[in-house]
Amino acid sequence: MLLQTEKLKHTDSGLFFLLAGPCVIEGENMALNIAETIVKITDRLHIPYVFKGSYRKANRSRIDSFTGIGDEKALKILRKVGETFNIPVVTDIHSAEEARMAAEYADILQIPAFLSRQTDLLVAAAETGRVVNIKKGQFLSPGAMKFAVQKVIDAGNKKVAITERGTTFGYQDLLVDFRGIPEMKSFGYPVILDVTHSLQQPNQTSGVTGGMPQLIETIARAGIATGADGLFMETHPEPEKAKSDGANMLRLDLLEGLLVRLTAIRETINKFDK
């Protein structure tokens, strides 16, 4: 099951699709270079690819945390990435007022996990006609996501996807309940596993979110094995220098090897499912 956007290539490959890119747009060259690298990899592996980049990060631990380079500037970069490589792009929106603006530049509007119950935001995203990717709140059960999905459908848009990104466990950790993937798939819409955000360690005393990137492959393999339709990963050439969420990002030069191994797992599963 794929996202309903005409720009996706390799849709007959039988593999998972991939949403990947930097946490936040830091500049044009950085975005284009990351996209070019991933496009080459996903074309070789026949993986449908969506470039991910937030034009602004509204949910920050501290007021001095980096939020972006300016909305219009970042959105124009997102559009340039999409046009340069003829691929769809996805970005977060944070308020109903942002939905129409972002829809002028992005193919997929993503609802952040903390905002997944915000009716006005979901309806505004739906009314743009774009694909709406709803991240499951860290505080919600998988079953509760059917109500978020229904809000988008009731607003006249059936182009919906759901993203699992972990559930709050204590104050400073997240866990992925992989039972939720088949449960959410039963709603009839694509289910994505956000691999890197599932490995965040929020609420650190430093005010900077931590992470466990050494477990990226473990979580990704489990997601493929349990039937995730797509994977979401944030990646950067130098995560230690990234301006947002570097602690849980995948280093860009590790992406190809990981995708090769994940592709082999999905191909094996497909053989047994026939």
The average pLDDT across 6-11 equals 91
Q: What is the pLDDT of residues 132-169, one digit of tens each?
A: 999 999 999 999 999 999 999 999 999 999 999 999 99
* Residue, of 231 and 243, whose pLDDT is higher: 231
Q: How far is CA 152 from CA 10, 135, 158, 162, 163, in A?
A: 27, 13, 7, 11, 15
Are β-strands 160-164 and 191-194 bridged in parallel, bridged antiparallel, or unpaired? Answer: parallel
Which pTM was predicted?
A: 0.94
| CATH superfamily, domain at 17-273 | Aldolase class I (3.20.20.70)
CB 233 within 8 A of CB 20: yes
Sorted by where each begins, the domain ranges of the chain are: 17-273
Q: Which helix (H) or strand (E) holds 211?
A: strand 210-211
- Predicted local confidence at residue 62, as pLDDT: 66
- Predicted local confidence at residue 247, as pLDDT: 83
- Predicted local confidence at residue 64, as pLDDT: 62
